Amino acid sequence: MIFNKGRGGLGLVLVLALFFLLPLVSAVKPVENIQTFTEGYELRIPMDNLLEIGADHEFETHVYNISNGYPIISGITCYFHLYNQRGKHTLEMEDATASHTFDYSFDVMGGNITEDIAYYVIQCNSTTLGGFHTAELAVTNSGTDDSGLSEAQLFFIFFLLGYALILLGWKFKNNLLIILGGMMTTGEGIWLFTNNLGTFASTSPQMVIFAMINLTVGLIFLFKGSLDFMEEGLW
């Protein structure tokens, strides 16, 4: 029967795997921040905090005088700054001409829309007055906020299920459960590599390590469980 000794080793693997998994399931909802001055400009911006990765996006703002609500369509320059998760600039743009009567806009190419971006700031100034708007950004593969379970949540469920099957098979000496758990865990590792390796490599290197651990552990238990299953003459 498999792994009769050193059961503490599997517990260590699980602890390490959970450590590497934490950044995958941690998420912060976008927070919008708007100035509350009584004099200057107010910037009104559509709710475009949720973006599609790699897709072009047009950021737009309407500018009003805070004191009387009158639209400002000339005599100002608006600046757009995009930042990544480390607080560094990734893009700077400006627009001094209103389009569609009221819009100051910034066309951001899809190459700038990655999971690494975190927030943006739009600042509009005249020679005497100014105003700004800043908001956090969220980037998803589809650009939509699913009401159901996210990919990360689904992965976490299958991650726990795969290792639960391995643990149950190990405890009750059932190689079939170990094989099923190994297959599930191996599939999770393959999914991480084929769908998210580029993203993880650029934003969270420990995610790449986690993918390798998950794939390796899955293959080990799948291979060893299959051998023992055949030795028992049940395959």
Note the pLDDT tens digit of each residue in 163-181. 998 998 888 888 888 888 8
Summarize pLDDT for 111-127 with one digit per residue, the tens: 999 988 999 999 999 99
> Among residues 144, 141, 143, 121, which one has the least CA distance to residue 131?
121
* Average pLDDT over every residue of 65-82: 95
Query: What sections of the chain are H helices per DSSP?
Result: 8-25, 151-171, 175-203, 205-231
pLDDT tier, 7 (very low <50, low <70, confident <90, very high otherwise)? very low
Mark whether 55 and 133 lie in a shared domain. yes
Number of domains in the chain: 2
> Among residues 115, 55, 48, 52, which one has the least CA distance to residue 86?
115
Amino acid 198: pLDDT? 47
* Average pLDDT over every residue of 86-94: 94
Mark whether 21 and 54 lie in a shared domain. no
Mark whether 51 and 116 lie in a shared domain. yes
Q: How far apart are CA 38 and CA 48, in angstroms?
A: 25
Amino acid 195: pLDDT? 66
- Residue 54 forms part of a structural domain: yes
Report yes or no: 139 and 113 within 8 Å, Cβ to Cβ.
yes
Mark whether 85 and 136 lie in a shared domain. yes
CATH code (residue 39):
2.60.40.10
Mark whether 134 and 166 lie in a shared domain. no
Q: Does residue 95 carry a pLDDT above 90?
A: yes
pLDDT tier, 79 (very low <50, low <70, confident <90, very high otherwise)? very high
Domain that holds residue 77: 32-140
Mark whether 58 and 119 lie in a shared domain. yes
Mark whether 102 and 16 lie in a shared domain. no
- Residue 145 forms part of a structural domain: no
